Structure 1
Amino acid sequence: MQPAIIYEDEDIIVCKKPAGVATQTRRIGQADMESLLKNYRASKGELPYIGVVHRLDQPVEGIMVFAKNKEAAADLSRQIKTKLADKYYYAMTDGVPEKKKGTLEDELLQNGKTNTSEVVERGTPQAKHASLSYEVVEQDGKHAVLRIKLDTGRHHQIRVQLAHAGMPIVGDKKYNFKENIAPSGGQLALCSFKIAFRHPKTHRKLEFEIDKPFGLS
Structure 2
Amino acid sequence: MNTKVLSNKDNLQVLYEDNHVVVVNKRPGDIVQGDRTGDKPLSEVVKEYLKEKYNKPGNVYLGVVHRLDRPTTGIVLFARTSKALPRLNKLFAEKKAKKTYWALVKNKPPKSEGTLIHWLRKNPKNNKSTAFKKEVRDSKKAILHYKVIKTLDNFFLLEIDLETGRHHQIRTQLGTIGCPIKGDLKYGYDRSNKDASISLHARRLQFIHPVKKEHINIVAPTPDDNLWNASDSN
Change (3 A) 1:41 1:181: closer
Matched, 1:57 2:66: no
- 1:181 and 1:73 map into 2 onto residues whose CA distance is 36
Q: Percent identity?
A: 33
Change (3 A) 1:185 1:112: closer
- 1:26 and 1:140 map into 2 onto residues whose CA distance is 36
Letter of the 2:178 partner, please give it.
G
- 2:195 and 2:43 map into 1 onto residues whose CA distance is 27
> What residue number does 1:105 align with?
117
> What residue number does 1:156 align with?
168
Aligned length in residues:
215
After superposition, residues 86-165 of structure 1 pair within 5 angstroms as: 86-140=98-152, 142-165=154-177
Tell me how far 1:212 sits from its aligned partner: 4.0
Letter of the 1:70 partner, please give it.
S
- 2:195 and 2:176 map into 1 onto residues whose CA distance is 23
Letter of the 1:59 partner, please give it.
P
Matched, 1:38 2:47: yes
SS of aligned partner of 2:30 = coil
Matched, 1:194 2:194: no
Change (3 A) 1:206 1:146: same
Q: TM-score, normalised by structure 1?
A: 0.91
Tell me how far 1:176 sits from its aligned partner: 1.8
Q: TM-score, normalised by structure 2?
A: 0.85
- 2:192 and 2:65 map into 1 onto residues whose CA distance is 35
Tell me how far 1:120 sits from its aligned partner: 2.5
Deviations 1:31-87 (A, max 9, x none): 211111122223230651111111100000101110012221111111111110001
- Contact kept in structure 2, 1:108 and 1:129, CA below 8 Å: yes
> What residue number does 1:171 align with?
183
Tell me how far 1:151 sits from its aligned partner: 0.8
Question: Which structure 2 residue ranges, 5 or more long, are not aligned?
Answer: 1-7
Deviations 1:106-137 (A, max 9, x none): 10011111111111353322211111111101
- Contact kept in structure 2, 1:5 and 1:14, CA below 8 Å: yes
Question: Which structure 1 residue ranges, 5 or more long, are not aligned?
Answer: none
> What residue number does 1:204 align with?
214
Aligned Cα root-mean-square deviation (Å): 1.9
Letter of the 1:74 partner, please give it.
P
